[in-house]
Structure 1
Amino acid sequence: MLMTNKLKYDTPVLTMGGVDIGYSNEIKILGLTIDSKLTFNSHVADVCKKDLNIYKQLSRAAKITWGLHPEVIRLIYVATVEPVIMYAASAWAEATKKLGIQKHLNAVQRGFAQKLTRAYRTVSLNSALVLAGILPLDLRIQETAALYEARKRAPPPSLRDAEIERVVAYADTPHPAEHMDLQFISLADQQQVEEHSNYAVKIFTDGSKIDGKVGAALSLWDRTSQFKAVKLKLSQHCTVYQAELLAICRATRIIRDRRETSFGIYSDSRSALETIVNSNAPHPLAAETRSNLSHCKSQNKLVSLFWIKAHAGLEGNEQADKLAKEAAQTLKCKPHFDLCPVSFVKRQIRMDTLEE
């Protein structure tokens, strides 16, 4: 297949073993139909036809049962229709700006919007979409393509100054034979905390987000009292989850540089701890934490991870929570962590779509 947008061109003549090789106008690769002019008209027509068949089957079922519930129709639309159409959207999203492609997409979406709102056939598509609470398909496809671009290449125009948080490449992770068998212990009350406090240094970590400001903190304790506090600032677009991971990561970095041989890390974020103990989790902060723990193990240091209940009156946890809130509200310095999470990028792209 010869792909070009030129109006006039000389068609190359190809032969193999004295036999002419013919040209194709379309090639289907991994479910995506590519035409020689890169219009993607055939691909859109095929997926729309497939979705219209789904709509007809839904209509027959609705007639038998006196109409399906709108939420059931919405579930069918979100879980089946949209994914079929948006397959490989990043490759052909530009085509949705053409009027002919939009007509194909509107024909599919109109039927579902009418059934969701139970409106007359004469209702306008825009009104039905607004009442149904679903976005136009052409904008959803462009949204999916923008998210793919942000994950792989560059963030959207509204976030040009931000660096996207990217997962750790598989080639940069330790060999499976070198994975550590990490576990954390859940502690429900003060008594259990005291039973698991026989460490030279105990480090309580916490993260906080208040009024759009994000902070994390560490409270270092010896046998009896706090002897050091560390406050960390994160960018406004960061999440509490990132703050919790950053605090634990910084704790392992401190442990790596100290001389004591036994340490306990106490966090009230179960999700952060589960990410760290999962050797396949590709989050960069979790990967760095596991690397620090591996280094500590080579130094013959004992490091234990604990989950403790938040706001349960545990002295170390309450102190770490107080420090994290102070870090979020009062700390004025360059952020210690400023990578933009994909969830924030996704939310920003959705806001741009809604505005359009």
Structure 2
Amino acid sequence: MVALHGHWHITATFALDKLIVAHFPHPRNGPTPKAPPLSLRDTTVKETESVCVLGVMLDSRLKWKVQQASALGKATSIVSALWQITRPSQGVSLKMICCLYISVVIPKMTYGLNVWYTPPHCPEGGQKRVGSVSALHRQALLSITGAMRSALTDLLETHANLLPMRYLLEKICYRSLIRIFSLPDNHPVRKMASNAYRHRNTTTHSPPLWTLSRLFDLPAPSDVETITPLAHPPDYDVLFSCDIPLDKDQAYRREENNRRRINIYSDGSRIDGQAGAAVVLLDKQNPANNQVLRYQLGALKLHTTYEAEGIGVVLRLALLQNCLHTNQDNTNMIGLDGKSFIEVTFNFKHRPRQYIIDEIHRLTDEILTDTSPRLLLTWVPGHMGLDRNECADEEAKRAACGNTGGSSPLPQFLRGKTLPASVSALKQHFHTSLIKRWENNFAKSRRLQRFSIYEPRGVHLNFVHLTDKLSRRQTSVLVQLHTGHIPLNFHLQHINRSNTPNCPNCEASGYLAKETV
């Protein structure tokens, strides 16, 4: 720390009372000797046990207890505020309060989670670290669902469509590790990620990044796609346009009235756990000129059909580059089954699969000139009885089965290499595995048999979507009926709030919530 000079020396003060010092001694057995005081200009700098660095509290022993307490304190104040805007009988709807909890409370509670938290990797280990967070999670679930305080947590998580806290924290750590693995090579953390992956099997004094690389089954950082912050300058001119009809019927009629001689269609498909892409060129006047090109991407746990749609466009541009009809105006149309991919080709924001869109733009700039007609990306819905589009879908399925190649050579972009793993596919595969683990644990619960009376779907209840049109009071009553914890005499007697389990009207003995439903 140095004093300020020049103009800043006149307008700003160098206040020593704002300085603090924190000591991080080497871990050893026994008490730590007291450090000597630090004095500057006859002023002793205040010593503290913890310090905040980039929003994360560092304590002298790096036990992260101070950070956990700070995160829980921030989240507790927000969860307490949730009770002010929602009640079992009135307030914000279930869907809106779930969105508020996911977007505000969870980020506050899990900021910097991959640094100060390690997912429990033993059946019985690490449960105490999740306990305090789970208690706050339960308070939020009671506020979200409008259930009674005696309701069981696993049933509340099912109705709110929220993962148990242990799985939720594990998912956040996994997504954070993928984000680090997908950084560009010039990022300073990318080298640390590669080093952590090489030393992931080191169990002694391993940093958090090494530990997460060992716990999660992820490809090497070099095998994960790189997401660059900026692909093109703001004034980049896209050499193609899009044509997206309002609905499927309009798209069907427009394709039926298509009078082009040459049409090129591309599609992506999945079958038997594999993803593939294909492109077909159809000549109405001379079917002998028809061409096809196929490419297998790989396993679905590493790739997506959305990614296959982009590879189909790359194959189409390669086929167009080798085609004799490049200069004809009737070859500038690309029919795609995926409407979302057409929209994203005009968005230069960094996102997964950005390297495929960059390759599409590069090939377009290479093929077309200033006098060439612009390419037209048009939406042709699938499974509507259009023979030309169904032909591309059949070829895409053949590509997914491993039939790579065709009437033209593959583009240089796809030759002799495998595509990097998709970030979206890795996240989706891990989320699916978490749902299966949650479902298996819920199936072992002795409460499943009672809950299956009302909803046999278990964790796949989708209660938030089903009750979107209901009022807050109606939603709370349904949750109380499903959980069996409802202010009826049969349940009130269990919690010592009623002297009899009988119905006050018909005097039926032991009536249940099932009978009320």
Question: TM-score higher than 0.5 here?
Answer: yes
| Change beyond 3 A, Cα 1:19–1:221 | same
Asked if residue 261 in structure 1 is aligned to residue 327 in structure 2, the reply is: yes
**Structure with the greater alpha carbon radius of gyration:** 2
Q: Which moved more, 1:29-38 or 1:69-78?
A: 69-78
Aligned equivalent of 2:343: 274
1:325-336 counterparts in 2 under 5 A?
325-329=397-401, 331=403
Q: Per residue, is there more strand in 1 or in 2?
A: 1
Kept in 2, the 8 Å contact 1:185–1:305? The answer is: yes
1:97-176 counterparts in 2 under 5 A?
101-115=129-143, 116=145, 118-121=147-150, 129=157, 134-153=162-181, 157-160=216-219, 163-170=223-230, 173-176=231-234
Q: 2:428 aligns with which of 333, 347, 350?
A: 347
| Change beyond 3 A, Cα 1:329–1:52 | same
Alpha-carbon offset, residue 233 of structure 1? 1.1
Aligned equivalent of 1:185: 243
Aligned equivalent of 1:233: 296
User: Using the alignment, how far apart are the partners of 1:241 and 1:303 within structure 2?
Assistant: 24
User: Using the alignment, how far apart are the partners of 1:113 and 1:186 within structure 2?
Assistant: 42
Q: 2:118 aligns with which of 88, 94, 97?
A: 94
Alpha-carbon offset, residue 190 of structure 1? 6.0
User: Using the alignment, how far apart are the partners of 1:242 and 1:252 within structure 2?
Assistant: 16
| Change beyond 3 A, Cα 1:194–1:296 | farther
Alpha-carbon offset, residue 316 of structure 1? 2.7
Aligned partner of 2:224: which letter?
I
Aligned equivalent of 1:51: 75
Q: Which moved more, 1:34-43 or 1:143-152?
A: 34-43
Kept in 2, the 8 Å contact 1:41–1:101? The answer is: no
Asked if residue 28 in structure 1 is aligned to residue 57 in structure 2, the reply is: no
Aligned partner of 2:390: which letter?
E
1:235-272 CA-to-partner distances (Å, cap 9, x unmatched) read 12122111111010122233334453243222222212
Aligned equivalent of 1:197: 260
User: Using the alignment, how far apart are the partners of 2:291 and 2:96 within structure 1?
Assistant: 56
Kept in 2, the 8 Å contact 1:235–1:335? The answer is: no
Kept in 2, the 8 Å contact 1:73–1:112? The answer is: no
Kept in 2, the 8 Å contact 1:181–1:277? The answer is: no
User: Using the alignment, how far apart are the partners of 2:399 and 2:69 within structure 1?
Assistant: 55
Alpha-carbon offset, residue 309 of structure 1? 3.2
Alpha-carbon offset, residue 21 of structure 1? 4.2
Aligned equivalent of 1:217: 278
User: Using the alignment, how far apart are the partners of 1:140 and 1:47 within structure 2?
Assistant: 16
User: Using the alignment, how far apart are the partners of 1:211 and 1:23 within structure 2?
Assistant: 62
Kept in 1, the 8 Å contact 2:271–2:397? The answer is: yes
Flag structure 2 segments of 5+ consecutive residues without an equivalent. 1-21, 182-196, 198-212, 246-250, 406-414, 439-517
1:12-91 counterparts in 2 under 5 A?
16=40, 20-60=44-84, 65=89, 74-91=98-115
User: Using the alignment, how far apart are the partners of 2:266 and 2:111 within structure 1?
Assistant: 42
Q: Secondary structure at the match of 1:3?
A: coil
Alpha-carbon offset, residue 341 of structure 1? 2.3
How much is the aligned-residue C-alpha RMSD, in angstroms? 3.8
Give the fraction of aligned pairs with identical amino acids, expressed as a percent. 19
Alpha-carbon offset, residue 34 of structure 1? 2.6
Alpha-carbon offset, residue 322 of structure 1? 1.9
Aligned partner of 1:204: which letter?
Y
Aligned partner of 1:93: which letter?
Y
Asked if residue 291 in structure 1 is aligned to residue 320 in structure 2, the reply is: no
Aligned equivalent of 2:463: none
Aligned equivalent of 2:311: 246
Kept in 2, the 8 Å contact 1:151–1:166? The answer is: no
Kept in 1, the 8 Å contact 2:295–2:404? The answer is: no
User: Using the alignment, how far apart are the partners of 1:127 and 1:5 within structure 2?
Assistant: 46
Aligned pair count reads 351
Aligned equivalent of 2:512: none
Q: Which moved more, 1:246-255 or 1:112-121?
A: 112-121
Kept in 2, the 8 Å contact 1:45–1:104? The answer is: no
Q: Secondary structure at the match of 2:115?
A: helix
Alpha-carbon offset, residue 318 of structure 1? 2.4
User: Using the alignment, how far apart are the partners of 1:331 and 1:86 within structure 2?
Assistant: 45
Aligned partner of 1:142: which letter?
E
Kept in 2, the 8 Å contact 1:232–1:335? The answer is: no
User: Using the alignment, how far apart are the partners of 1:274 and 1:202 within structure 2?
Assistant: 21
Kept in 2, the 8 Å contact 1:168–1:287? The answer is: no
Kept in 1, the 8 Å contact 2:229–2:350? The answer is: no
User: Using the alignment, how far apart are the partners of 2:35 and 2:318 within structure 1?
Assistant: 63
Aligned partner of 1:149: which letter?
L
User: Using the alignment, how far apart are the partners of 1:20 and 1:95 within structure 2?
Assistant: 41
| Change beyond 3 A, Cα 1:12–1:217 | farther
| Change beyond 3 A, Cα 1:281–1:249 | farther
Kept in 2, the 8 Å contact 1:218–1:229? The answer is: yes
| Change beyond 3 A, Cα 1:104–1:295 | same
Alpha-carbon offset, residue 296 of structure 1? 1.6
TM-score where L is the length of structure 2: 0.57
Aligned partner of 1:343: which letter?
S
TM-score where L is the length of structure 1: 0.80
| Change beyond 3 A, Cα 1:120–1:292 | same
User: Using the alignment, how far apart are the partners of 2:85 and 2:232 within structure 1?
Assistant: 53
Q: Secondary structure at the match of 2:107?
A: helix
Kept in 1, the 8 Å contact 2:282–2:290? The answer is: yes
| Change beyond 3 A, Cα 1:80–1:222 | same
